[in-house]
Each structure stands twice: as C-alpha cells, then as structure tokens.
Amino acid sequence: MSTAGTLPAMDVSVSSLVRRSMADVAAHAIDVRTASEWQPHVLGRRVPLGFEVVDYDPSSHIILRSEQGPVAFEATYSWVPQGTWTRVTLRQTGDAPGVGLAASILEKALAKAMGKNLARLVELLEQPAA
C-alpha cells in the first residue's frame, strides 16, 4: 500500500493453529454475520469501517481494503491446511500519514488487538457445537 512519500508503512501479522478444517475456518472468517463476534474492536474501540473486497479465493484467503479513518489499510485473512488443522493468519498493512514516530506504538497496539481477535476466532471455532 505504501507509495513514495507516504510514511510510515505498517505491516502487522498474527497467526494461530485451529483444530478445524480449512473449509470451516474459511466459512466463519468471511461470514459478515459472525465478524463482530471475533473482531469487534480496533485498538480498543468500535470503529465502523467500510471495506472493499480486493481479492478472494475460498481455498486460501480474502483481502479487504479500507480507506476510511485515519489509517488506510489492507487486511488479509488467510488459511492453510496443516494436517486436520488449519493455520490462520491475519495481516494488516497500511499507511499512517501524520503518525510519524508513533508508528511503532500504533503497530504494537494493533498487533495486540489482532492477537485478541484471532484468539477469539480460535475460541469460537473450537467450541463444541450446541
């Protein structure tokens, strides 16, 4: 996403194994009806973001882009089978004009929030069916 003269660029990833099939993980990760259950917050607050689907392959990933808010970013949710489990990776890249030296602080906060979101996704996917 970075363009010449736009600094700083951020790139944050978190990953986890899930005890579910890739098809189950993909179906839940892209379901807009369940999104608020596992990714309700960005940096500790509810943020209404408009996303554009940039790329989607149900066998591997979805890439979303948002130009709203103070940080324009892309979010990539990917899933890869590992035996009977699935590795899920959440990655956000973006430009934060005007953030300057606070970029590293913002990246750490974003990584923490993404880690919580991913942990919640794993919890939801691994809970026994009701």
Q: Is residue 46 part of a domain?
A: yes
| pLDDT tens column, 17-43 | 999 999 999 888 888 777 777 776 554
Question: Which amino acid, residue 113?
Answer: A
Q: What is the pLDDT of residue 119?
A: 93
Q: What is the pLDDT of residue 47?
A: 47
**How far is Cα 66 from Cα 72, in angstroms, rounded to an integer?**
6
List the CATH number of the domain containing 34. 3.30.530.20
- Number of structural domains (the chain) is 1
> At 23, is the secondary structure helix, strand, or coil?
helix
Q: Is residue 39 part of a domain?
A: yes
Q: Is residue 4 part of a domain?
A: no
For the chain, give the percent of residues with pLDDT over 90: 31
Q: Is residue 122 part of a domain?
A: yes
On the question of pLDDT at 65 being above 60, the answer is yes
Contacts 24+ apart (CB under 8 A), 37-42: 37/120, 37/124, 38/117, 38/120, 38/121, 38/124, 39/117, 39/120, 39/121, 40/117, 41/113, 41/116, 41/117, 42/110, 42/113
Please give the model's pTM, rounded to 2 decimal places.
0.79
Q: Is residue 48 part of a domain?
A: yes
Q: Is residue 54 part of a domain?
A: yes
> Cis omega before residue 8 (within 30°)?
yes
The residue range of the domain holding 23 is 10-126
Q: Where are the alpha helices (DSSP H) in 1-130?
A: 22-29, 35-38, 103-126
Q: Is residue 1 part of a domain?
A: no
Q: Is residue 3 part of a domain?
A: no
